[in-house]
Structure 1
Amino acid sequence: MAIVSRLLSTRAREQPDSPAFLAGADGRALTWREVAGHAARWRDVRPGSRVGLVIADPLVFTAAYLGCLSAGLTAAPIDPRLTATELSEVLTRLRVDVLATDHAEPVIRPETDTCEVDLAGPRLVWSATTTARPSDAAALRPAVLLTSSGTTGRPKGIPLTEWQLMHAAGRVARHHGFGPGERGYTPLPLFHVNAQVMGLLATVAGGGSLVIDRRFEAGEYWARVEKHSPTWLNAVPAVLASLANQPAPSSRVAERIRFARSASAPLPPETARAFTEHTGIGVLETYGMSEAAGQITANPLDPARRRRGSVGLPVELELIVGGPDGTPVATGAEGEVLLRGPQIVSGYLELDGAGPERVRPARTAEGWLRTGDVGVLDDAGFLRLAGRADDVINRGGEKIYPQEVENVLLAHPGVAAVAVVGAPHERLGQVPVAFVTSQQSDADALASALRDWCAERLTRYKRPTVIEVTDALPLGPTGKVLRRALRAELAGTQ
């Protein structure tokens, strides 16, 4: 019996009428008995199928996702906001056999079975007109097929086994102290690994409950928290920054919450400080990625042991900071973060949608996954991230990490959000340019003030040559800045 199927059966037997998952907006709930019952209905889907989950309703997505894992199918979560054209392209790239959706007018493709899905289960509304399945030539049949965020280039397929997913969920549950008395709240997109593993699967592993919203709504956030009484919050830096500027929750609400967990993007220290001072809720900073099925490092639960500006300690996996040859650098020196262990993905799928499906190795010959993240380990083993290796700006041989410059700019009271990227320069190769958002109306005055601010806090070569005040930054679904869009703008290709 599959791991998820076995766990759902256990939860249904031991906690049959306890709420497992609740919809934040309207309070609908699924008990553990109902979750297990829904999962059983997915066993009628043809074994081995790749199932594209294009589902907006958070409870329906949860039931379908767990059903696919329980039935031994491959779940391929897809952004439900895609247009019909975009969706068709994604279904082709992922070689999806079954489209499962709660859309009122589902996209019908001749080669793809289509199911309408709700809390009663999947119902076939279109049968493929050919006996061949899109995944017949699949190189792998993982439990979940994710794609990279694509913030720096074309997405690649990340195939994860059920063991890898549930091992990560167990690590999350143990580290965070999840159990039957715990309840989380997450408004993060369910088609990303954070909400899936740190939310859904960690709840299955720990036996608590989870409140789910389909999107973050700043004006409704604390009202829903008060209504559902969670003990922990699942957030990203963009959410924490927004909440620091909203009316604070009452002390009665805040005192029940053990921590707000931050992941998916770098957390500026100023954002963490502002959120905690404003709400009274401590931030537990972590670090994860899809290739590790989620969590890699996390700060300790004990607030006194947390280190602001650090993403914490490795959680049940091997981690080093290595040089160009992959050997560990000295303590306190910068290098690339490398991961190793059976919980780390071993190969990527090339998602071109044409020709035979190809797998390329994700690890080195020594078994290390190169994350592309630049970091530093201190003498206690805490990891600090400096930024992405491909985001580093080379200004005439001087290396500039955007995150350092961004943190300085974010400390200015007039700045709401910021992104620093490299702009082409004839003589120096690259120079740093800052894009900032603000609620101040006088953009020229703010830009001038920020130049003075940087002059006092950054050595000359790190200072942005241009500070552009803009209405908004291009963001991905989890709040990551799409730096490639900003670089393309600077290069004049947009």
Structure 2
Amino acid sequence: MAVVSRLLTARALERPAAAAFVAGADGRSLTWSELASQAENWRAASRGRGLPERSRVGLVATDPLAFTAAYLGLLAAGLTAVPLDPRLTASELANSISRLRVDVVATDTPELFTTETEMWSLTDSGPIPVRLATLSARPGDGAAMRPAVLLASSGTTGAPKGIPLSEWQLMHAARRVARHHGFGPEQRGYTPLPLFHVNAQVMGLLANLVSGASLVVDRRFDVNAYWERVEQWRPTWLNTVPAILASLAAAPAPSEDLVRGIRFARSASAPLPEHTLRAFTEHTGIGVLETYGMTEAAGQITANPVEADARRIGSVGLPVGVGLSVLGPDGRPAPPGQEGMVALRGRQVVSHYLDLSANVPERARPARDASGWLLTGDLGVRDEAGFVRLAGRADDVINRGGEKIHPLEIENVLLGHPSVRSAAVVGAPHERLGQVAVAFVTAQPGADSDVLARDLRDRCERELTRYKRPTAIEVTAELPTGPTGKVLRRALRAELATAGGAR
């Protein structure tokens, strides 16, 4: 029997009527007893259809409780959950389903799919067959092709890859998350993050299951309703990303009484500018617990201590249950204080990627090097105490005539201006220097774009060495972002390349 199945049964016996998950928008809830019952319905549905173990079920749900029940039910039934973004168009979903070799779709929006798609409708009691079709070719026998959850990488740095996660990897990650953050039946979290991403699945759904805590889930982040939700449900911790923290820092502040019971706001999924952290904490009175993770490690890799006085601003914390090293140019561990490539290893780190190319046989390729390290693509530094500080993505480093520029350093300078809402710096092609830095910023409401651009140029002249200064600063309405608020730098680079670069 699957670990998830055993845990659902245990929780249903211990606290059958306790609300495990609550919909923040309308107060609907799922008790542990209801979740265990729905898991049994998923097992019955898969047996009735004759689905082999680890058949791939595409999960497309707009309702957070429907997603939660289906996700846990699929894992309990021994099927492979393939969560997909419900905001995708019908053609985008069809492409994802094909590339991920999905056998069946479970959805609360059946109108998005063609009559050729085998589909289960999500209801309050579990899945109901809607249309039946011939199953696609079965996944291969390799463990990488028969995971508990199959996710596609975000594609923020290139073509997406299939990331297969076993139940052991997911539950190991959930246990270390719950232990590190001190979760238990008396704790309640609040997450408006997308459930089709690993953060909300492991940090939210599975850590909640492991610890017996409760979790308030929302379909999306709404800055105007956020503190109302907090007042209504009184969570003890908040699951956030930097974009949420920045928005809340610019919104009306919550009352002292409202935030008194909140232990921390956890930040993940994207780099957290130091200015954003300080602005949020000063504005709300809530401390921020900065972390670092990636899908390949089933979520969390490092985290700051829960104890506020032990956290280090600007650091993503210490490794939590995963092997981590900062490797120098020679592939050996770099000494403390020296920048290098962050690398991971251990059983909880994926060993293979799946090729998501269209119209080719499915195949796995190694995710680790010959020494067993998975190279994250992130540059970082460890101090004497082991705390990790990230410098940015290796692919994002700008090479200006041989001088290396980290975009994050420039972005932190730009974000220090009170009229800047968000900022991103990328390298633009240059005939003589190879690349130069170009900045894109969005302004706070009411700011004059021309005045802001001039102020930012002056600010960069004061605070940055000449070669690091952006050659252009563009004030734009919005930055291209992914579902978790991470800036899509490749879209900005493509825009510059189309425009002919910088001269």
Using the size of structure 1 for normalisation, the TM-score is: 0.98
Query: Partners of 1:366 and 1:271 in 2: how far apart?
Result: 38
**Separation in 2 of the partners of 1:51 and 1:104?**
14
Map 1:20-39 to 2 at 5 A. Answer: 20-39=20-39
Q: Structure 2: how far apart are the matches of 1:23 and 1:127?
A: 31
Cα distance in structure 1, aligned partners of 2:169 and 2:499: 40
1:489 partnered with 2:492 = no
| Residues 1:194 and 2:199 aligned together | yes
2:120 to 112, 115, 122: 115
- Residue 420 of structure 2 is matched in structure 1 by 415
Shift of residue 39, structure 1, vs aligned partner:
1.1
Q: 1:370 aligns with which of 371, 375, 386?
A: 375
Structure 1 equivalent of residue 440 of structure 2: 435
Distance 1:138 1:400 in 2: 45
Q: Is the 8 A contact 1:108 1:114 kept in 2?
A: no
Give the structure 1 partner of residue 465 of structure 2: 459
Give the aligned partner of residue 96 of structure 2: 90
Does the aligned pair in 2 maintain the 1:164–1:342 contact within 8 Å?
yes
| Equivalent residue letter for 2:274 | P
- Report the secondary structure of 1:276's partner residue: helix
Q: How does 1:10-159 map to 2 (within 5 A)?
A: 10-43=10-43, 44-45=45-46, 46-47=51-52, 48-103=54-109, 105-110=111-116, 112-128=117-133, 130=134, 132-137=135-140, 140-159=145-164
Alpha-carbon separation, structure 1, partners of 2:115 and 2:98:
10
The two structures, once aligned, show a CA RMSD in angstroms of: 1.2
**Separation in 2 of the partners of 1:325 and 1:294?**
28
Q: Residue 474 of structure 2 aligns to a residue in which SS? A: strand
1:212 aligns to 2:206 (yes or no): no
**Structure 1: runs of 5+ lacking an equivalent:** none
Deviations 1:161-188 (A, max 9, x none): 0000000000000000000000000000
Cα pair distance change 1:136/1:299, threshold 3 Å: closer
Residue identity in the other structure for 1:311: V
Q: CA deviation at 1:452?
A: 0.7
Q: Distance in 2 between matches of 1:89 and 1:493?
A: 30
Match of 2:307 among 302, 305, 308: 302
Provide the secondary structure at the position in 1 that maps to 2:155. coil
Q: Which amino acid aligns with 1:189?
A: P
The match for 2:450 is 444
- Look up the match of 2:396: 391
Distance 1:82 1:138, change over 3 A: farther
Q: CA deviation at 1:225?
A: 0.7
Q: How many angstroms apart in 2 are the aligned matches of 1:58 and 1:173?
A: 21
Which amino acid counterpart does residue 87 of structure 2 have in structure 1? R
TM-score, L = length of structure 2: 0.96
Structure 2 unmatched ranges of 5 or more: none
1:277 to 272, 276, 282: 282
Q: Deviations over 1:343-366 (max 9, x none)?
A: 000000000132321100001111
Summarize the Cα distance change of 1:252–1:96 in structure 2 as closer, same or farther, 3 Å threshold: same
Judge conservation of contact 2:380–2:388 (CA < 8 Å) in 1.
Answer: yes
State the shift of 1:136 in Å: 4.4
* One-letter amino acid of the counterpart of residue 200, structure 2: A
Q: Give 1:476's aligned residue.
A: 482
CA distance, structure 2, for counterparts of residue 68 and residue 353 of structure 1? 26
For residues 75-133 of structure 1, the C-alpha deviation after alignment (integer angstroms, 9 at most, x for no partner) is 000000111111100000000000110015241352x42111122111111010x3x42
1:441 is displaced (CA, Å) by 3.9
Question: Percent sequence identity over matched residues?
Answer: 68
**Residues 363 and 104 of structure 1: CA distance in aligned 2, closer, same or farther (over 3 Å):** closer
Q: Secondary structure at the match of 1:416?
A: strand
- Separation (CA, whole Å) in 2 of partners of 1:422 and 1:136: 41
Is the 2:89–2:112 contact (alpha carbons within 8 Å) kept by the matching residues of 1?
no
Secondary structure of the 2:59 match is strand
Task: Look up the equivalent residue of 1:480 and give its one-letter code.
Answer: K
Change (3 A) 1:161 1:20: same
Structure 2 counterpart SS, 1:491: helix
| Counterpart Cα distance in 2 of 1:320 and 1:245 | 37
